[in-house]
């Protein structure tokens, strides 16, 4: 559900692929015109709030040694209860301390979603590279749940690229490029991953839990142009849960603001907004700093226009900035205005992403055509030379 590294990685590689494909960009734009980005607005858009508070879920991914201290503040649980909000708790370990927190939330009547993540060496997020580890993780989770008598409102699968791919961007660019090239032709990997995660979802259902998936918003662009580029390259898996949550974080682009939520929200079943907390890296936070209250409340109104369930990344950021108290008095019937310029900015960005995805998905065919034309040109030149030699 965090999504920060996944967003940055795919954005960066999308730009790289776009530059590589620049020669065919004009042609590709014509090809995806019917499936491209949203129609540009002629003016500002006013979004009316739903009038009632949506079902809010706050993601919490604190380490075990931080959980006890954080939730020692009784106001946190009290505010969650007053807001009728739930918690998406990252299952980073199966410790007694984490189990005790879940029990406390259960006793307070606060819904808790088991946000499933893997160990760092397994890639953290669930994807096409770690299907067996994901299944084993759920089995261990279920044993832990039974041992402590824990209750969950749902199980959430965080489907994002492997963290090793993120490290590859910085440390092993040539190796990463070779890996991505190999994956681009591996359609079997997509099929295998979809089947594996569909089976995992069936297993979770058999234990009585609804299933949520947390997906990067780029998946909506991929579906729009009917490709599997992101699945093949980055290992994300387009699988059908009970509820899919698109992670639409305007903190990645403060200038575009609510237009990001507006654009992608129209294609989302449920929405998670963020981030309300910094990453801890000053270099990252300089460009992708946390949302302030005005940005946060704006995104909430827009998201709740499309979805009755809105996730927030993250709880600790909301507590630190004093958002929980202010949410109690938020006017959910207010309207939010999104400027035409920000809508155009997001539309252009999505159009570029969709163009690159469309073009990359057809690169093998384009390369085949180019090679065929080169072969034809060579054959014609040789034939011409043979004809000239024969006349002499």
pLDDT at position 132, please?
95
229, two tokens:
């580029």
Bridge partners, 336 (sequence order)? 47
Strands 45-48 and 335-338: antiparallel
Contact criterion met (CB below 8 Å) for 77 and 107: no
43, two tokens:
């003016």
**What does the buried/exposed string (b/e) look like for 55-77 if buried means 16 or more CB atoms within 10 Å of the residue's CB?**
bbbbbbbbeeeebeeebeeeebb
| Residue 40, helix vs strand vs coil | coil
Residues of the chain with pLDDT under 50: 6-7, 10-41
Contact criterion met (CB below 8 Å) for 15 and 341: no
Question: For residue 71, what are the contacts with CB-CB under 8 A and spacing of at least 6?
Answer: 77, 101, 104
Measured distance CA(118)–CA(138) in Å, rounded = 10
pLDDT at position 35, please?
31
56, two tokens:
């809010």
| Residue 257, helix vs strand vs coil | coil
pLDDT at position 36, please?
31
Q: Return the beta strands (E) in 267-356 as ranges.
A: 270-274, 309-313, 335-338
Give the pLDDT confidence of 215-262 residue by residue, as tens digits: 999 999 999 999 988 898 888 999 999 999 999 999 999 999 899 999
Peptide bond into 230 cis (omega under 30): no
């Amino acid at each position: 559900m965090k999504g920060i590294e996944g967003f940055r990685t795919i954005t960066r590689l999308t730009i790289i692929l776009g530059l590589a494909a620049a020669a065919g960009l004009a042609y590709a734009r014509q090809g995806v015109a019917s499936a491209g980005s949203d129609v540009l607005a002629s003016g500002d858009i006013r979004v009316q709030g739903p009038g009632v508070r949506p079902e809010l879920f706050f993601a919490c991914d604190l380490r075990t040694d931080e959980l006890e201290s954080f939730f020692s503040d009784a106001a946190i649980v009290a505010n969650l209860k007053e807001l009728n909000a739930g918690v998406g708790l990252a299952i980073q370990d199966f410790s007694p301390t984490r189990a005790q927190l879940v029990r406390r939330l259960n006793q307070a009547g606060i819904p808790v979603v088991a946000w499933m993540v893997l160990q760092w060496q397994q890639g953290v997020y669930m994807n096409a590279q770690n299907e067996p580890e994901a299944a084993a993780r759920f089995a261990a989770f279920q044993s832990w749940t039974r041992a402590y008598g824990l209750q969950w409102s749902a199980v959430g699968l965080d489907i994002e690229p492997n963290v090793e791919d993120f490290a590859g961007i910085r440390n092993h660019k040539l190796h990463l490029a070779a890996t991505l090239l190999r994956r681009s032709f591996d359609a079997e990997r997509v099929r295998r991953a979809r089947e594996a995660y569909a089976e995992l979802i069936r297993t979770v259902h058999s234990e009585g839990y609804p299933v949520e998936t947390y997906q990067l918003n780029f998946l909506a662009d991929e579906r729009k142009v009917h490709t599997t580029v992101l699945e093949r390259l980055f290992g994300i898996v387009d699988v059908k849960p009970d509820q899919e949550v698109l992670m639409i974080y305007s903190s990645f682009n403060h200038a575009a603001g609510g237009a990001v939520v507006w654009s992608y929200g129209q294609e989302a079943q449920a929405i998670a907004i963020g981030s309300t907390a910094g990453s801890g890296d000053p270099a990252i936070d300089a460009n992708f700093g946390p949302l302030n209250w005005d940005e946060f409340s704006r995104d909430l109104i827009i998201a709740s226009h499309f979805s009755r369930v809105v996730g927030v990344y993250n709880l600790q950021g909301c507590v630190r900035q004093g958002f929980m108290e202010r949410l109690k008095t938020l006017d959910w019937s207010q309207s939010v205005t999104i400027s035409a310029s920000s809508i155009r900015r997001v539309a252009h960005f999505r159009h570029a992403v969709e163009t690159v995805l469309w073009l990359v998905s057809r690169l093998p065919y384009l390369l085949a055509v180019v090679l065929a034309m080169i072969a034809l040109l060579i054959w014609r030149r040789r034939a011409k030379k043979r004809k000239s030699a024969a006349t002499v």
